[in-house]
Amino acid sequence: MIFDDLLLTLDENWEVIPEQNIALLSVNGERYSYFNINTLAKADVPLSSYQIFTWELKNSKAYIRPDSVEIFQFQGIPVLEYTIIDENTSIETKSIMMVFDRGEYISIVSFGAYLSVYNENQDYFDNIIY
């Protein structure tokens, strides 16, 4: 699948909604995972990748497990990984954000999955993400 000119290799288990730049993985009607891609002009977002990550963490409405936060580069692409906890249900969600520099634009790729689903299928998800 191509989202906002970025190739994302998804199998038939994903529902792709191109007009929203989102893909959803659902089982029996319950959403377990998503990908979202937003492309913005750099002039509209005068922040570095790491400033975007800081903004993301500071403005999260969910509780972030501090011990889960990791910032690193994968093949030169800045990556933020963290786990959030829903305060009402205590369900944990694995979140991954990557920022792609595309010249005059940046693309922010966001991934989320229930932590239990991610852990049980880590190779599957990591092969898509990385």
Listed in sequence order, the residues at least 6 apart from 119 whose beta carbon sits closer than 8 Å to its beta carbon are 94
Residue 3 has pLDDT above 70, yes or no: no
| Helix extents (H) in 1-130 | 49-58, 115-120, 122-129
Q: What is the 3-state secondary structure (H, E, C) of 81-110?
A: EEEEECCCCCCEEEEEEEEEEECCEEEEEE
**Co-location of 84 and 96 in the same domain:** yes
**Co-location of 85 and 33 in the same domain:** no
- Reported as a single tens digit per residue, the pLDDT across 70-122 is 999 999 999 999 999 999 999 999 999 999 999 899 999 999 999 999 999 99
**Co-location of 33 and 77 in the same domain:** no
Measure the CA–CA gap between 90 and 77, rounded to whole angstroms: 31
Measure the CA–CA gap between 54 and 50, rounded to whole angstroms: 6
Give residue 100's pLDDT. Answer: 93
Q: Which residue has the tokens 């903004």?
A: 55
Give residue 80's pLDDT. Answer: 97
Give residue 66's pLDDT. Answer: 95
Q: How many domains does the chain have?
A: 2
**Co-location of 26 and 68 in the same domain:** no
